Amino acid sequence: NAGVTQTPKFRILKIGQSMTLQCTQDMNHNYMYWYRQDPGMGLKLIYYSVGAGITDKGEVPNGYNVSRSTTEDFPLRLELAAPSQTSVYFCASSYSKNTGASTDTQYFGPGTRLTVL
Amino acid sequence: DQQVKQNSPSLSVQEGRISILNCDYTNSMFDYFLWYKKYPAEGPTFLISISSIKDKNEDGRFTVFLNKSAKHLSLHIVPSQPGDSAVYFCAASFLLGYSGAGSYQLTFGKGTKLSVIP
């Protein structure tokens, strides 16, 4: 079981370039998330998905787009990269039983360190 | 505004002693609290959690205490071991409520770096 995998591990972009951060989970989790962690800060939610074809914005969605065509994959797209997007990006997944009072544990990938120059 | 605060950026503890990591929150709607542990170059891993209907949850060497009136929780590690050296994040959650399904957006604190000295 690989869990949550993310590629690439590191990337340097020039201002205005675009890229896609890949995230795959093999735990058949229905919920997936993208977070960013800036230096000395906690993680902030960018986007999340509750199932294939369904996505919604988190706390800091500007400058990003996501799609969820399969249960396993949840790519994060950066269009027109800016220095403010320099951060470590974490993908996570969880399984929700849809019982309302959820206590789902989120499982995180190892992260992608992105620098925009 | 920061809804989950970890006011101690770092903590050093001698091996075998107790480590106490603190966390305060401001949003009274939070109903579930978690601690995550993070090693360098890795993603956070879930450590322990507590529901707002409880005031204590224990798992081996790790115990989380919740004081709802003070909006404060703490993580106790006893005894502390060198392998516990990591950054510990406190996180809080509330129901997203998407189509009645249950899941949680996690709001994280900035983290506390724990160093356990052999």
Residue A16 C-alpha, separation from nearest chain B C-alpha, in angstroms? 27
Q: How far is residue A49's CA from residue B93's CA, in Å, rounded to a whole number? A: 16
| pLDDT on residue B104 | 57
Among B104, B107, B113, which would you mutate to test the A interface (most chain A Cβ atoms within 10 Å of its Cβ)?
A: B104
Any idea which of A82-86, B19-23, B78-82, B89-93 has the lowest mean pLDDT? B89-93
Residues A30-80: tens digit of each pLDDT = 889 999 999 888 899 999 998 899 998 888 999 999 999 999 999 999 989
Residues of A with Cβ-Cβ distance to B1 under 8 angstroms: none
Nearest CA in chain A to B5: A42
Q: For the residues B4-17, what does the mean pLDDT come to?
A: 96
Q: For the residues B19-25, what does the mean pLDDT come to?
A: 98
Instruction: Return mean pLDDT, chain B.
Output: 90
CB-CB: which of A43, A101, A104 is closest to B108?
A: A43
